[in-house]
């Protein structure tokens, strides 16, 4: 009896905002995405991270460089106290063969793949989203997948990172920064920037404010003695109503598009896509072509900036961002300095993949890997900007888990596959975890930080699974 009561009580507390708004009718116009309903409250009493992002980079990492921050991992050193690095991870249970596109349906999933283009289950971003928000997340965008890629080998999964439970691709990624901007912000200038909204948007806001006056009766039903909400929830609704009126008096945008916080700021104009030697849409194999590293970096950093803005505005909470497609199949040109030495990328007619990885040129590969880490760190920096603290006084990065991963170890090996956790509100102990583990163990550890049972691989009876001990704080 006690257990049943307790379960019912937990279910009541965990009522989703979507369910609440559905019952409230048109009152939904006045409720979404304000400080009182920030990400941290969305999962009921759960005090862990409220967002999850997977962050991919291609071509693996030399195992000898995974033991400290003196080599290619040097850019991450400022995050050392908030980062767990797993450097003895194996995915050999996935079988041999091409470790690029064939490994992709396993990455960020953990389950063995059903086929070259079909995963064995849902990726962790979707698993966590379903766990925290069974009826869907309380954000305009359910999940997001974006990144930069140019070409791939014999299958078209090199740029896919989010997978449904049935093994199909959950989200087709966006490459152009301008398209990502449109998806996030619709081309409009939101409240909270230094730019004033355009006349069309101002007229829309005035309509919304007048509609707000029409929903007072519905607010009263939620706050009244006959409300189906508990006392604490009714008090929250009442406080929220007063806050909403206060915001209205200050002419704050309450149209449900953006969070009314100082962190929700975006540029006033849609970004212009950097010019590339090869069209953005041309991404299916073909002969090797060269990409300037500065152009690739610029595009990725535009993605990073837009992700940070979208997360600050609580437009989405789950997704995948990637620096390049697995296997890449492009040549790079340009200068990059690392380890006190300038490296000139001159992979004309050759790719980093073949010129450095296949030929075992560890020195040149280390420069490439350092360059990649340098740019992934840029993304983490944007999430960790102390100028944009959230309602609980922490940064976006503090309130989310970023899972970094790649498709293999060194030169197509399915051993020593680098993975790392960053953020997650201090729920894990930072450091280098050198005990041998399967990739599925790392994925289970990731979902475990959100209070989920660590059951990835259980359905398929995947052998050798074990918990990563000493990880949780």
| CA distance linking residue 272 with residue 254, whole number of Å | 29
Percent of the chain with pLDDT over 70: 67
DSSP state, 112?
A: P
Identify the H or E element spanning 146: strand 144-147
Show the domains of the chain with their CATH numbers: 50-195+280-448 (3.40.720)
Task: Please compute the mean of the pLDDT values over residues 108-121 and round it to a whole number.
Answer: 89
- Quick one: pLDDT at residue 120? 92
Q: Identify which of 10-24, 174-188, 242-256 has the greatest average pLDDT.
A: 174-188
Task: Please compute the mean of the pLDDT values over residues 165-194 and round it to a whole number.
Answer: 77
Task: Please compute the mean of the pLDDT values over residues 365-376 and round it to a whole number.
Answer: 94
- Quick one: pLDDT at residue 400? 96
The residue count of the chain comes to 473
Is-contact 55 379, C-beta < 8 A?
yes
**How sure is the predictor about 292, in pLDDT bands with cuts at 50, 70 and 90?**
confident
Percent of the chain with pLDDT over 90: 40
3-state secondary structure of 322: strand
- Quick one: pLDDT at residue 353? 79
**Could you give phi then psi for residue 208, rounded to 5 degrees?**
-60, -40
Whether the predicted pLDDT of 166 surpasses 60: yes
| CA distance linking residue 432 with residue 67, whole number of Å | 7
Whether the predicted pLDDT of 71 surpasses 70: yes
Task: Please compute the mean of the pLDDT values over residues 231-256 and round it to a whole number.
Answer: 50
Query: What pTM did the predictor assign?
Result: 0.77
Whether the predicted pLDDT of 213 surpasses 70: no
Whether the predicted pLDDT of 86 surpasses 90: yes
Q: Please state, as a whole number, how many other Cβ atoms lie within 10 Å of the Cβ of residue 96.
A: 9
**How sure is the predictor about 96, in pLDDT bands with cuts at 50, 70 and 90?**
low
**How sure is the predictor about 139, in pLDDT bands with cuts at 50, 70 and 90?**
confident
Task: Please compute the mean of the pLDDT values over residues 131-151 and round it to a whole number.
Answer: 90
Task: Please compute the mean of the pLDDT values over residues 349-378 and round it to a whole number.
Answer: 86
Of the two residues 226 and 367, the one the predictor is more confident about is 367
Sign of CA dihedral 337, 376, 99, 168: negative
Task: Please compute the mean of the pLDDT values over residues 138-160 and round it to a whole number.
Answer: 81
Task: Please compute the mean of the pLDDT values over residues 201-223 and round it to a whole number.
Answer: 49
Tell me the pLDDT tens digit for each residue of 17-50. Answer: 444 444 444 443 333 333 334 444 444 456 789 9
- Quick one: pLDDT at residue 313? 82
Q: Where are the beta strands (DSSP E) in 362-412?
A: 400-405
């Amino acid at each position: 009896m006690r257990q049943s009561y307790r379960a019912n009580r937990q279910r009541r507390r965990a009522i989703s905002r979507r369910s609440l708004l559905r019952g409230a009718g048109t009152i939904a116009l006045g409720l979404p995405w304000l400080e009182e309903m920030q990400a941290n409250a969305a999962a009921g009493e759960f005090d862990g991270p409220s967002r999850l992002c997977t962050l991919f980079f291609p071509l693996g990492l030399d195992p000898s460089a995974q033991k400290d921050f003196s080599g290619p991992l040097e850019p991450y050193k400022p995050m050392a106290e908030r980062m767990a690095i797993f450097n003895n991870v194996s995915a050999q249970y996935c079988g041999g063969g091409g470790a690029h596109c064939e490994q992709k349906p396993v990455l960020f999933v953990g389950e063995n793949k059903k086929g070259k283009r079909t995963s064995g289950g849902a990726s962790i971003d979707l698993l966590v989203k379903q766990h925290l928000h069974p009826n869907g997340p309380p954000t305009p965008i359910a999940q997001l997948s974006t990144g930069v890629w140019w070409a791939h080998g014999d299958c078209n999964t090199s740029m896919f990172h989010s997978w449904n439970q049935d093994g199909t691709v959950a989200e087709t990624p966006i490459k152009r920064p301008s398209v990502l901007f449109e998806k996030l912000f619709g081309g409009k200038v939101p409240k909270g920037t230094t730019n004033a909204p355009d006349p069309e948007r101002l007229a829309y806001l005035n309509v919304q404010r007048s509609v707000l006056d029409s929903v007072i009766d519905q607010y009263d039903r939620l706050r009244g003695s006959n409300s189906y909400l508990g006392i604490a929830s009714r008090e929250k609704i009442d406080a929220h109503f007063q806050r909403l009126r206060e915001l209205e008096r200050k002419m704050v945008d309450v149209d449900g598009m953006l969070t009314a916080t100082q962190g929700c700021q975006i540029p006033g104009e849609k970004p212009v896509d950097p010019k590339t030697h090869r069209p953005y849409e041309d991404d299916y194999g073909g002969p090797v072509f060269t990409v300037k590293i500065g152009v690739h970096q610029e595009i990725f950093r535009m993605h990073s900036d837009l992700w940070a803005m979208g997360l600050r505005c609580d437009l989405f909470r789950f997704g995948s961002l990637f620096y390049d497609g697995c296997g890449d199949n492009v040549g790079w040109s340009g200068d990059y300095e690392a380890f006190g030495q300038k490296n000139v990328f001159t992979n004309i007619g050759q790719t980093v993949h073949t010129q450095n990885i296949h030929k075992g040129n560890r020195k040149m590969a280390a420069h490439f890997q350092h360059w990649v880490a340098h740019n992934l760190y840029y993304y983490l920096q944007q999430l960790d900007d102390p100028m944009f603290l959230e309602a609980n006084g922490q940064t976006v990065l503090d309130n989310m888990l970023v899972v970094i991963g790649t498709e293999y170890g060194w030169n197509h090996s399915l051993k020593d596959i680098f993975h790392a956790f960053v953020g997650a509100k201090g729920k894990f102990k930072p450091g280098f975890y050198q005990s041998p583990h399967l990739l599925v163990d790392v994925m289970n550890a990731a979902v475990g930080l959100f209070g989920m049972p660590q059951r990835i691989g259980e359905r398929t009876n995947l052998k050798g699974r074990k918990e990563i001990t000493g990880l949780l704080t």
